[in-house]
Amino acid sequence: MEKKTLRIDCLEYGGLDELDAAARHLMEMAMAAARDAYAPYSHFHVGAAVRLADGTVVTGSNQENVAYPSGLCAERVALFSASAQHPDQPVTALAVVGFQNGHYCEASPCGACRQVMAEYEQRYGQKVTVYCYLNKGRIRQITGVESLLPFGFEARL
Ligand code: THU
């Protein structure tokens, strides 16, 4: 028996103004996308923006449905849309933000979205940097889905 300890590194910024121009732009695109969410059931709006290797930014917002499980998170709307439109461009970064009661708020990708991100990392052989909007306007940066989804599902099918 062996005890193993995982280490997770992340960076936290005090606000949008501390981000570099590309990351700030990505988060601002996610903030704009949150306004287009279709979330009549949860009233929790989420915006996501994905940056591709050539600099293209693809946005997404959560899309709900009266048959609840048929809805999709903002992150997967953005990721699947990016992959469908630009299949040859590696995903390099993703920003996510919540919007509720007229205010931007904390959002962190759910497990299913992390699994999807993990697959794009594998597919393109490139780490994805994730920016999560936190309460009080802080922003968390995590590089590599391994830090978001340790022991994620992998299979050779
Ligand atoms: N949601 C997202 O779009 N992204 C997340 O990271 C977490 C949750 C959506 C799903 C649902 O439409 C609403 O937020 C409430 O859970």
pLDDT tens column, 31-63: 999 999 999 999 999 999 999 999 999 999 999
Question: Is residue 5 assigned to a domain?
Answer: no
Atom number in ligand 1 closest to CA 113: 6
Q: Give the pLDDT of residue 157.
A: 83
Q: What spacing in Å lies between the alpha carbon of 63 and ligand 1's midpoint?
A: 9
Q: Give the count of domains, the chain.
A: 1
Q: How far is the CA of 67 from the centre of ligand 1 (A)?
A: 15
CATH number where 106 lies: 3.40.140.10
pLDDT digits (tens, 9 = 90+) for 59-107: 999 999 999 999 999 999 999 999 999 999 999 999 999 999 999 999 9
Find the 68 Cα to ligand 1 centroid distance in Å.
Answer: 11
Nearest residue to 61 (alpha-carbon basis) of 29, 33, 25, 82: 33
Is 99 contained in some domain?
A: yes
Question: Per the domain annotation, does 2 fall within a domain?
Answer: no
Structural domain contains residue 3: no
How many Cα atoms are found within 13 Å in the side-chain-facing hemisphere of 132?
Answer: 16
Would 44 be classed as within a structural domain? Answer: yes
Q: How far apart are CA 104 and CA 108, in angstroms?
A: 13
- Residue 151, burial from CB neighbour count under 10 angstroms (0-12, 13-18, 19+): exposed
Percent of the chain with pLDDT over 90: 97
Range of the domain at 132: 11-147
**Ligand 1 and 44: CB distance under 6 A:** yes
Q: Three-class SS of residue 75?
A: helix
| Predicted TM-score (pTM) of this structure | 0.97
18 tagged catalytic: no
Atom of ligand 1 nearest to the CA of 41: 12
Please pick, among 12, 64, 75, 119, the residue that the annotation labels catalytic. 75
**Atom nearest to 63 CA in ligand 1:** 12
How confident is the model at residue 155, as a pLDDT? 83
Q: pLDDT, tens digit, for every residue of 107-134?
A: 999 999 999 999 999 999 999 999 999 9
**1, part of any domain:** no
Does residue 50 belong to any structural domain of this protein? yes
Q: Is residue 152 part of a domain?
A: no
Ligand 1 lined by 78 (C-beta under 6 Å): no
